[in-house]
């Protein structure tokens, strides 16, 4: 009787698998969009709440810190107690926190609400990918993960677009209220479509390891985010890096010695897992750096509104979707290694074309570069995620999914911090001559950011204003182009590493991998 019931459950899971994927994608999309939707709303929040510059930073940072810091813990809890249960709990937490965020009256209250939303997001994201790994098998898993990975990346691009649309027609509270019906619908559908799955061995939670991972990841993310603003040698940033290093070292020692580790470090002995993770991190680094610079380029250099700027990210989103979808067929014929390396090489060939952008460049030139970069990213992200998930036992899918998310998040944070800092330094040097005749305080501000230069230019009399605006715009465009070359070099080196070190599926099995790998 039990075997018949089990067979019936497995049959139902298989029959509803694509509907299940739809629910998982809806759940992860609302979380990922929320991670970037506030970017266009920060000026509005500053006016409405009287938030300071540091308050605005914490509105964004509190979400990211809790989200990133708890991923490994929530992934492990999902493996132990049930991934569907963790997903449902996460949706409830996320919806209630969104309702609270829409009802706040002070900046501090919004920071707290965003932190709770980060907790909900940390419960949702690992669960969605680990459920997909449980539901799909073989080449269908590759297709499902490609769709999941594409929406994960596209959601970051769609956030500013939806944010701009909402602010164009509604109040800022609706940035959070829209989450509630979506989360509620996803919750209802999880009960209708998703079958529970968990690690059958049900190992006890490594509580000390969980605490160490939270300290290490949160400290690292905070230091990387705050470094460009506070200075890389500031006391708080150095302390956070030191805490991250000590916490990370303690975590590694703990995981090597404990009987039931939170993260099985033997995963990293499998080259397919490690190389896939490295490719994903470095691709996220380059994409985040591009997004950061491109937002400033569109609004301050080309003069678009937040909504107009958000819409102009669509070629990147379209390229991502098409690339992720095509990667499934390409992996079937060429194998994961060649497809990931090919996507990285396409990015390496395309990113230097940003050198062609100037302050008055037509959008067809800008959009075509974005579409090609997006296509390359899609062909890296989906197969790399598939390689990571396929290199570990299915029973540990929650932790593997959380590891994938941490890698992407840290890579993106490093991209904004490092490439953003390089971009600002290059811009400052290029615009120095154009601002030399300004009063010292204006010159310093104009060298500090292209936004400040454009604001100052609007107040200057006669031809001085347009001249400064043109000089600042072209200086920033040139700086973006040079950062594009740096990113291209990183992508080329990463492609070489993938070609040399990522094993084929057959070689991966010889290495002794414990879980089924759907890649080639």
What DSSP string runs through 456-519?
HHTTS-TTHHHHHHHHHHHHHHHHHHHHHHHHHHHHHHHHHHHHHHPPPHHHHHHTT--S----
* 77 and 103 share one domain: yes
Residues 304, 241, single domain; the answer is no
Is 1 part of any domain? no
As to burial, measured by CB atoms within 10 angstroms (0-12 exposed, 13-18 middle, 19+ buried), residue 414 is buried
pLDDT for position 229: 66
- pLDDT tens, position by position, 292-338: 788 778 878 888 877 787 788 888 888 888 888 888 888 888 888 89
Residue finishing a domain among 175, 205, 235: 205
For residues 230 and 339, state if they share a domain. Answer: no
494 in the same domain as 440: yes
Same domain, yes or no, for 140 and 280? no
Report yes or no on 334 lying in a domain.
yes
Structural domain includes residue 436? yes
Tell whether 235 and 308 lie within a shared domain.
no
Residue 198 CA: distances (Å) to CA of 72, 223, 398, 451 = 15, 34, 9, 50
Contact 374, 320 (CB under 8 A): yes
Q: What is the pLDDT of residue 515?
A: 45
Tens-digit pLDDT profile for residues 496-506: 999 888 876 54
**pTM for the model:** 0.77
**Total structural domains within the chain:** 3
What's the chain's average pLDDT? Answer: 81
The residue among 188, 205, 222 that closes a domain is 205
User: Do 184 and 54 share a structural domain?
Assistant: yes
CATH number at residue 106: 1.20.1250.20
Same domain, 346 and 256: no
Query: Kindly report the CA angle at 128 between 122 and 131, in degrees rounded to 5?
Result: 130
**214 part of a folded domain:** yes
Q: Phi-psi category of 358—alpha, beta or left, where left has phi over 0 and alpha has psi -120 to 50?
A: beta
The range of the structural domain enclosing residue 77 comes to 10-205
Are residues 14 and 96 part of one domain? yes
Calculate what percentage of the chain has a pLDDT beyond 70.
Answer: 89
Asked if residue 372 and residue 468 are part of one domain, the reply reads yes
Q: Is residue 518 part of a domain?
A: no
Highest mean pLDDT pick, 244-253, 320-329, 389-398: 244-253
Q: Is residue 2 part of a domain?
A: no
Cα gap 322→9, rounded to integer Å: 34
How many Cα atoms sit within 13 Å of 372 on the Cβ side?
A: 16
Distance of alpha carbon 240 from alpha carbon 132, whole angstroms: 35
Are 224 and 200 in the same domain? Answer: no
């Amino acid at each position: 009787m039990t075997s018949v019931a089990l067979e019936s459950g497995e049959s139902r899971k298989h029959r509803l698998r694509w509907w299940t994927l739809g629910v998982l994608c809806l759940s992860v999309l609302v979380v990922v969009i929320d991670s970037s939707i506030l970017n266009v709303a920060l000026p509005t929040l500053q006016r409405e709440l009287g938030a300071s510059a540091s308050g605005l930073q914490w509105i964004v940072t509190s979400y990211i810190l809790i989200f990133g810091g708890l991923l490994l813990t929530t992934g492990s809890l999902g493996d132990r107690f049930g991934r569907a249960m963790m997903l449902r709990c996460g949706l409830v937490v996320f919806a209630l926190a969104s309702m609270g965020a829409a009802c706040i009256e002070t900046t501090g209250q919004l920071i707290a609400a965003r932190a709770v939303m980060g907790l909900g997001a940390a419960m949702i994201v690992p669960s969605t990918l680990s459920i997909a790994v449980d539901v799909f098998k073989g080449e269908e898993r590759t297709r499902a993960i490609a769709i999941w990975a594409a929406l994960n990346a596209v959601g970051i691009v769609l956030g500013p677009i939806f944010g701009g649309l909402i602010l164009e027609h509604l109040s800022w509270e609706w940035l959070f209220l829209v989450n509630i019906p979506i989360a509620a619908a996803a919750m209802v559908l999880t009960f209708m479509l998703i079958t529970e799955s968990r690690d059958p061995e049900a190992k006890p939670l490594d509580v000390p390891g969980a605490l160490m991972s939270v300290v290490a990841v949160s400290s690292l993310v905070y230091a990387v985010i705050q470094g460009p603003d506070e200075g890389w040698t500031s006391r708080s940033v150095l302390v956070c890096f030191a805490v991250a290093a000590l916490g990370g070292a303690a975590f590694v020692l703990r995981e090597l010695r404990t009987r039931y580790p939170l993260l099985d470090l033997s995963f990293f002995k499998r080259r397919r897992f490690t190389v896939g993770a490295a490719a994903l991190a470095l691709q996220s680094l380059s994409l985040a750096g591009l997004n950061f610079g491109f937002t400033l380029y569109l609004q301050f250099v080309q003069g678009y509104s937040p909504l107009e700027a958000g819409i102009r990210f669509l070629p990147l989103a379209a390229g991502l979707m098409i690339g992720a979808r095509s990667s499934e067929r390409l992996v079937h014929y060429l194998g994961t290694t060649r497809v990931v390396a090919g996507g990285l090489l396409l990015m390496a060939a395309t990113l230097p074309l940003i050198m062609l952008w100037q302050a008055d460049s037509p959008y067809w030139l800008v959009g075509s570069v974005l579409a090609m970069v997006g296509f390359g990213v899609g062909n890296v992200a989906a197969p790399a995620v598939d390689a990571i998930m396929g290199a570990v036992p299915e029973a540990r899918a929650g932790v593997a999914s959380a590891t994938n998310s941490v890698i992407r998040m840290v890579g993106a944070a490093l991209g904004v911090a490092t490439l953003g800092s390089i971009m600002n330094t290059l811009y400052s040097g290029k615009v120095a001559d154009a601002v030399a005749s300004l009063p010292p305080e204006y010159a310093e501000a104009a060298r500090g950011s292209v936004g400040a230069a454009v604001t100052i230019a609007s107040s200057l009399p006669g031809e001085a204003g347009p001249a400064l605006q043109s000089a600042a715009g072209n200086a920033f465009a040139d700086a973006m182009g040079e950062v594009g070359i740096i990113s291209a070099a990183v992508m080329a080196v990463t492609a070489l590493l993938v070609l040399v070190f990522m094993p084929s599926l057959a070689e991966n099995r010889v290495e002794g991998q414990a879980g089924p790998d759907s890649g080639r």
